[in-house]
Amino acid sequence: MAKKPIKGLRSGKVSGRGQRDLTVKVKTARGRKLSSKLWLERQLNDPYVQRAKAEGYRGRAAFKIMELDDKYGFLKPGARVVDLGCAPGGWLQVAVPRINSDGSNAKKAQGRIIGLDLQEVDPVAGAEVHVLDFLADGADDQVKAWLGGEADVVMSDMAAASSGHKQTDHLRIIALCEAAAELAFDVLAPGGTFVAKVLAGGAEGDLQKRLKSRFDKVANVKPGASRSDSSEKFVVAMGFRAPSVD
């Protein structure tokens, strides 16, 4: 699904008689922290948040996976996909029609998508959602059992809870991404794709080396839907090479 321009939202202005500013300001209520006020203002004025509401997606993150797939084309009809840390379900919503897991297009191969999370997630039509800690022993075998075989795509928008310390948060999300990559090595079919969120910060070098040793191509991308003031980026590793068996 390609991004649709949002008239009037990017500039914060609308045309017409008496052109006016649409920026929403939030008053600081008693007991509300300034950081909460600024976060709420950012949410109310974020065009991707508004677009997600208008188009029925569960969060602005849906547009990140759209952009990545539009560029690299890994969500193909018939693909078997694993979405790690799938709450609230926005990535599932995007993937379902693209891989045709709901069977809505009888002329295309029907895919399958498994969403995993530590908490219950509201159902998404065309997707299977399971409560599972992907770090647990046997998680890879369980995932392949649910999929009925190996995966074509493993994707993750997971992030560790913020500590407020930039370097600590960077190290935590890199560790989470490395763990997700290890699961991907166990469940991906040859030629498969791994997509995951990371935070730039200097500690991702080992992760990059590991991915380059197992995939034909590794790209680092900051989608337009990622906030400009965030260090967030995504690694897209394509062409998985399973280890040779002697």
The residue behind tokens 């797939």 is 69
Per the annotation, does 157 bind a ligand?
yes
Evaluate the CA torsion angle 195, 200, 201, 205 in order and state its sign: positive
Per the annotation, does 89 bind a ligand?
yes
Asked if residue 5 has a cis previous peptide bond (ω within 30° of 0), the answer is no
> Any idea what the Cα angle at residue 180 is, between residues 175 and 181, rounded to 5°?
95
Nearest Cα to Cα of residue 160 among 185, 179, 140, 181:
179
Per the annotation, does 141 bind a ligand?
no
Per the annotation, does 133 bind a ligand?
yes
Tokens of 85: 């840390």
Residue 211's φ and ψ, nearest 5 degrees, are -65, -40
For the annotated catalytic residues, the residue numbers are 197
Residues 6+ apart with CB under 8 A from 179: 134, 135
Per the annotation, does 117 bind a ligand?
yes
Q: Fill in the DSSP letter of residue 33.
A: -
**Helical H segments across the chain, by residue range:** 34-45, 47-55, 62-72, 90-99, 139-147, 166-187, 205-214
Q: Fill in the DSSP letter of residue 244.
A: P
Binding residues for S-adenosyl-L-methionine, by number, are 89, 91, 117, 133, 157
Known binding positions = 89, 91, 117, 133, 157
